[in-house]
Amino acid sequence: MNMYIPPEYEVVRDNSRCIECRVCERQCANEVHKYDGDLKAMISDSTKCVNCHRCVCLCPTHALKIVKSEDTYRQNANWGAQTMNEVYRQANSGGVLLSSMGNPNDYPVYFNKILVNASQVTNPSIDPLREPMETQVFLGKKEVEIKRDISGRIVDTLSPQLSLKMPVMFSAMSYGSISYNAHEALARAAEELGIYYNTGEGGLHKDFYKYGKNTIVQVASGRFGVHAQYLEAAAAIEIKMGQGAKPGIGGHLPGMKISDDVSRTRMIPKGVDAISPAPHHDIYSIEDLRQLIYTLKEATDYKKPIIVKVAAVHNVAAIASGIARSGADIIAIDGFRGGSGATPTRIRDNVGIPIELALAQVDERLRQEGIRENVSIVVAGSIHSSADVVKAIALGADACYIGTAALLALGCHLCRSCHTGKCNWGIATQRPDLVKRLNPDIGYKRLVNLLTAWNHEIQEMMGGMGINSIEALRSNRLMLRGVGLNETELRILGIHHAGESM
Amino acid sequence: MKYVIIGNSVAATACIEGIRSVDKEGEITVISAENRAAYGRPLISYILLGRISEENADYRPKEFYEKNKVNVMLGRRAVKIDRGKKAVLLEGGGEVFYDKLLVSTGSRPFVPPMDGLDKVKDKFSFMTFDDMKNLGRALSKQKRVLVLGAGLIGLKCVEGIADKVKSVTVVDLAPRILSSVLDEGGSAIVQKFLEEKGVGFILGDSVSGFEENRARLKSGKEIPFDILVLAVGVRPEVSLVKDAGGEVNRGVAVNERMCTSLPDIYAAGDCAEGYDKSVRANRVLAILPNAAFQGRCAGINMAGGEDIFGGGTPLNSLGFFDLHIMTAGVYEGEFIEDISAQNYKKLFIKEGRLVGFIIIGDIKNVGIYTSLVREGTPLDKLDWRIMSKCPLLCAYPAKERDEKLNKGV
Amino acid sequence: MKKIYVKENRCLGCRLCEWECMFANSGLDAMFKLKGKQGEILPRIRVEDNPEDIHFAVNCRHCKQAICVKSCIAGALSKTDEGMVVINKDKCVGCFTCVLVCPYGAIMPAAGGKAAQKCMLCTDNDRGEPNCVKYCPNGAIVFEEREI
């Protein structure tokens, strides 16, 4: 027998405002709303509601709201309602709990405990509206030594670089986990912004080859959709070793999301679950990784930077040190808050470490070992705002990946039900009627708006510090101070506490 | 250039607009037997009904004639076309010279000879504004009205007067009402509807004679009445062209430029035999849209422009109280029907095309069917399962939908 | 002339356009006041849905050679100098010949059935711009000048 689990949220309809236009009914893929002919009124079934706010946003008379249910179990500081419900659900189903998006639990957000410096009197700040303010960055291995030929001319030994107009990119989200329209929006925004988006491990849809110069293609453990043209189309290739939302485990795209197009793009059968193994079965060491890196470089004539993406785990600094010596051009580190289209809840909520700490340690370790310039560092896993970008760069990153923030710009309301495939916002779904809801013409513009705004803010903050280029901010930890952090946290972050001078 | 137009209704107005689309300066003269600016003839029943005021009944805004520099001769009847002088002779003397002439004289009521008709005091036709005014003055709650003719004109008149008189009885020789517009099933529905509104019908019978306020029918029945409305039928008004030696059949013969057999003389509207796509032949198609299209075509050609009248299609949109009837085309070939208590729908299909329909009740989007009839669209080019149920653009293939909704039309 | 065009591949069939049309032409100051007024105000835009999950809105195309204008028995329909097809409701008698001839199903009986109604691009209310376009949540209805 299935235990009844009361809904966490309730749909509340103000019937004095409801005009029975039935927009809510038509727009809810979860079939929460329905017009009742007998009552001549709209009725709602809160047990089906995932709290995605689609109906709330589209209700033309604002007659709807969704509130936290007051129905609670007996108060218990130890056994919370969610914890109890999860037990009930597992007792009902016998299955592994699935979740989506990033870890929502109450762990510290270190970015929120770090404050940024500004110039006063003795070191003038810079007005970005009047002075040049460089937010362009280049990702890739930098040459420390300058080589000259016999006639004294500089020999160009620079490895291939990615050039970003601002230090932000869209992180890997596969076609399959998100929709065609979401991909189109990301690709077009990347093109317009002069940055990059990332295919994830779902291959590259034939329609999007034209955005190749702004595309990073991924080679993951499932090797879905990887072929010569795919590698050739891209600006860079990312080897995905791990993902912040699910370090140590593979991926699982349910068969129902493998539509015709997804199947063609991934080069796998339609309707069959797509399993990405936990490890790459050919990589058990840095040496193995190096082989794959050079295989890919060889395949693309050494013209494209290779990124190695890992989840932030306890030994991330040592792992990064290995990667920096493996021939990779860029290391991407995904923190424990990183998102996912479907992940076992226990993994998402209990595995990995915060990106701020991982980043600080990786940057520090590579510097100590004198190999920091071997690689660029890109960080991911809940970059919430331009301020987080500034702080990440000051902690040692070259650029950031954003995933969730981009999806929010496209309409995502973080209902965290991606794994159901019924995304009412047309993002994490392959149902054509739902995909349609994300108009890429609107979506791409919103992404461009978001990052244009961020870039302005980054320039403002840099100017305030008297810094006029991203280069000068990178690893400039003197610009950061911690608040409410203990000695250990400050030491790991490599920053002083607020109030401490240099 | 001197343009003269005989008649002042829809074809005449459209002709003025047609001429002015080509020639902004030429002199235009309209000779109108009636005493007022152009109005849509079918409006007269609505004026009686109170649906529209007399002031609003003008077909074009007040400034129309001035703006288009038209000299309108109201209350003057043309009696002869003198081809030698290229002049129109007027009743009571006077002549108007033309370079190009349009005859848009419409039709006149046809009254079969009936014994004692001349003794009937209150008898009216129902064609013109004046007819309507005269009839309107005679109406009162005490009066019994006898309408001869259960066609469009007769029944629209009935609608207009029904609640102003004591009783209305309609007599028609045909065994059913609206026999030129509807099929048997449709006629029956409309008849039942009108009977429920209190209208009496005597069908398959005709008046053999009148004795003052009594009509004697062929069947022997006698009907007492106070007011007689004659709506038996109409005939195209072709005498001017006929007398001038022009080719006339039932209506004035015209080519695809609306030119008659006589040089510089054009005809348009209810008096003309233009091309009818539905029967692939020229015939009188006395419906208002047809007059508008023909008049415009004539005007353009008169002014030296180039326009071809592609042909009309029979169309009828009728309302009786709150019952709506729409028909188009011809009732030939196979048909599919969808008949319920509220609605009557028959679609006629021939050679894979929709050639006609009768729809009573639910008139939503009916124009989509009409366009299929008018354009002769092959039905295998669209999703007939959808279209046959309900006229919807989504039955068209995506490409055509896109043409319709996203291109200039 | 700027006209309304629809993007079928963007239309969700939510029918907000129909409601926004009714609201714009209702004279009401708040949309929720449409409550209970079903049937008293009818939309001048209509959404079609087909079983293959295709949706699109249809309203007046403002045809260059507008057959409704030519067919109107009362002269109630006319074209403005800019090319907009307008209806004078004081002149309309509700014969619905326009409904019979419009190839788009874009003109329809107004509430009460005594006259026809059609989209006049919100020039006949206080909106100033087509309300359906403004409030389409997915950019499926656009108001633009097209060189076609």
Q: Do chains C and A touch (3 or more CB pairs under 8 A)?
A: yes
Is C101 in contact with B367 (Cβ distance < 8 A)?
A: yes
Return the structure tokens found at B334: 């196979």
d(C-alpha B106, C-alpha C20), whole Å:
45
The secondary structure element, H or E, covering residue A133 is none
Interface test with B, best of C9, C65, C69, C71 (most B CBs within 10 A): C71
Is C93 in contact with B46 (Cβ distance < 8 A)?
A: yes
> Which residues make Cβ contacts (< 8 Å) with residue B265, sequence separation at least 6?
B81, B83, B101, B102, B103, B241, B244, B246, B259
Is A60 in contact with C138 (Cβ distance < 8 A)?
A: no
Residue of chain C whose alpha carbon sits nearest to that of B64? C75
**With contacts defined as CB-CB under 8 Å, which chain A residues touch C32?**
16-19, 61, 63
d(C-alpha B199, C-alpha B171), whole Å:
11
pLDDT band at residue A253, thresholds of 50, 70 and 90? Answer: confident
- A21–C contact, CB cutoff 8 A: yes
**With contacts defined as CB-CB under 8 Å, which chain A residues touch C20?**
60
d(C-alpha A270, C-alpha A262), whole Å:
8
**C-alpha distance from A233 to closest chain C C-alpha (Å):** 28
Angle, helices B129-138/B152-161, rounded to nearest 10 degrees: 40
The residue type at A427: I
**C-alpha distance from B219 to closest chain C C-alpha (Å):** 36
**How much is the pTM?**
0.91
**C-alpha distance from C104 to closest chain B C-alpha (Å):** 6
**C-alpha distance from B307 to closest chain C C-alpha (Å):** 13
**pLDDT tens readout for residues A378-424:** 999 999 999 999 999 999 999 999 999 999 999 999 999 999 999 99
**With contacts defined as CB-CB under 8 Å, which chain A residues touch C34?**
19, 61
Is C140 in contact with A17 (Cβ distance < 8 A)?
A: no
Distance of CA B129 to the CA centre of its chain: 15
Q: What is the CA radius of gyration of chain A?
A: 24
d(C-alpha C95, C-alpha B41), whole Å:
13
**pLDDT tens readout for residues B289-306:** 999 999 999 999 999 999
Domains of chain B, by residue range, sit at 2-106+237-302, 113-233, 322-406
The secondary structure element, H or E, covering residue B27 is strand B27-32
Is B14 in contact with C70 (Cβ distance < 8 A)?
A: yes
Task: Please count the structural domains in chain C.
Answer: 2
User: What architecture is domain B2-106+237-302?
Assistant: 3-Layer(bba) Sandwich (3.50)
Tell me the sheet residues that pair with C41: C38
For residues C81 and C111, state if they share a domain. Answer: yes
Chains near B (3 or more Cβ pairs under 8 Å): C
Task: Could you list the beta-strand ranges (E) of chain C.
Answer: 3-6, 46-50, 54-58, 77-79, 85-87, 107-109, 116-118, 141-144
Distance of CA A143 to the CA centre of its chain: 29
d(C-alpha A276, C-alpha A274), whole Å:
7
**pLDDT tens readout for residues C18-45:** 999 999 999 999 999 999 888 899 999 9
Is C108 in contact with B364 (Cβ distance < 8 A)?
A: yes
- C145–B contact, CB cutoff 8 A: no
Q: What is the CA radius of gyration of chain B?
A: 23
DSSP letter for C121, please.
T
Residue of chain A whose alpha carbon sits nearest to that of C33? A17
Is C70 in contact with B370 (Cβ distance < 8 A)?
A: no
Nearest to B195 by CA among B185, B204, B187: B187
For residues C22 and C5, state if they share a domain. Answer: yes
Which domains does chain A possess?
A: 9-95 (3.30.70.20), 127-142+165-497 (3.20.20.70)
**Cβ count within 10 A of residue A499:** 8
On whether the B113-233 domain is CATH 3.90.1150.10, my answer is no
Contact B122, B133 (CB under 8 A): no
Tell me the sheet residues that pair with C109: C116
Q: Please identify among residues 155-214 of chain A the ones whose CB lies closer than 8 Å to any CB of chain C.
A: none
Is A22 in contact with C15 (Cβ distance < 8 A)?
A: yes
pLDDT at residue C83 is higher than 90 = yes
Is C35 in contact with A19 (Cβ distance < 8 A)?
A: yes
Using CB atoms, pick whichever of C91, C99, C146 lies closest to residue B52. C91
Return the structure tokens found at B159: 């609608």
Average pLDDT rounded to a whole number, residues C108-114: 94
pLDDT at residue A146 is higher than 90 = no
On whether the B322-406 domain is CATH 3.30.390.30, my answer is yes
**pLDDT tens readout for residues A325-367:** 999 999 999 999 999 998 999 999 999 999 999 999 999 999 9
- C107–B contact, CB cutoff 8 A: yes
Is B52 in contact with C93 (Cβ distance < 8 A)?
A: yes
Return the structure tokens found at A433: 């009627």
**C-alpha distance from C130 to closest chain A C-alpha (Å):** 16
For residues C132 and C104, state if they share a domain. Answer: no
Q: In the Cβ-directed half-sphere of B28, how many Cα atoms lie within 13 Å?
A: 30
d(C-alpha A386, C-alpha B104), whole Å:
77
pLDDT at residue C52 is higher than 90 = no
For residues C74 and C41, state if they share a domain. Answer: no
The residue type at C144: E
pLDDT at residue A144 is higher than 90 = no
Q: Do chains B and C touch (3 or more CB pairs under 8 A)?
A: yes
Give me the total of CB pairs closer than 8 Å, taking one residue from chain A and one from chain C.
60
How confident is the model at residue A91, as a pLDDT? 95
Contact A141, A159 (CB under 8 A): yes
Burial B255-289 (b: 16+ CB within 10 A, else e): eebbbbbbeebbbbbbbbbbbbbbbeebbbbbbbb
**Cβ count within 10 A of residue B173:** 16
Mean pLDDT of chain A: 95
d(C-alpha A331, C-alpha A328), whole Å:
7
pLDDT band at residue A192, thresholds of 50, 70 and 90? Answer: very high
Is A18 in contact with C20 (Cβ distance < 8 A)?
A: no
Residue of chain C whose alpha carbon sits nearest to that of A25? C14
Chains near A (3 or more Cβ pairs under 8 Å): C
- C4–B contact, CB cutoff 8 A: no
Using CB atoms, pick whichever of C16, C32, C38 lies closest to residue A23. C16
Q: Do chains B and A touch (3 or more CB pairs under 8 A)?
A: no
For residues C90 and C67, state if they share a domain. Answer: yes
For residues C20 and C66, state if they share a domain. Answer: no
User: Please, what sign has the CA dihedral across residues B136, B141, B142, B145?
Assistant: positive
Residue of chain C whose alpha carbon sits nearest to that of B365? C105
* CATH number of the domain residue C98 falls in: 3.30.70.20
pLDDT: is C17 or B408 the higher one?
C17
The residue type at B177: I
Using CB atoms, pick whichever of C23, C30, C137 lies closest to residue A58. C137
Give the residue numbers spanning the domain of C102: 60-118
- A439–C contact, CB cutoff 8 A: yes
Distance of CA A489 to the CA centre of its chain: 24
> Which residues make Cβ contacts (< 8 Å) with residue A393, sequence separation at least 6?
A167, A399, A400, A470, A473, A474
Is A21 in contact with C15 (Cβ distance < 8 A)?
A: yes
Longest Cα–Cα distance in chain A: 92
**C-alpha distance from C19 to closest chain A C-alpha (Å):** 7
Interface test with B, best of C101, C132, C141 (most B CBs within 10 A): C101
Contact A444, A185 (CB under 8 A): yes
Using CB atoms, pick whichever of C5, C72, C109 lies closest to residue B405. C5
Pairing of the two strands A399-402 and A376-380: parallel
Interface test with B, best of C52, C70, C142 (most B CBs within 10 A): C70
d(C-alpha A35, C-alpha C121), whole Å:
31
Pairing of the two strands A162-164 and A137-139: antiparallel
Residue of chain B whose alpha carbon sits nearest to that of C67? B289
Contact A378, A397 (CB under 8 A): yes
Contact B17, B302 (CB under 8 A): no
Is C19 in contact with A19 (Cβ distance < 8 A)?
A: yes
- A19–C contact, CB cutoff 8 A: yes
- C34–B contact, CB cutoff 8 A: no
The answer to whether the complex's ipTM is over 0.90 is yes
Low-confidence ranges of chain B (pLDDT < 70): none
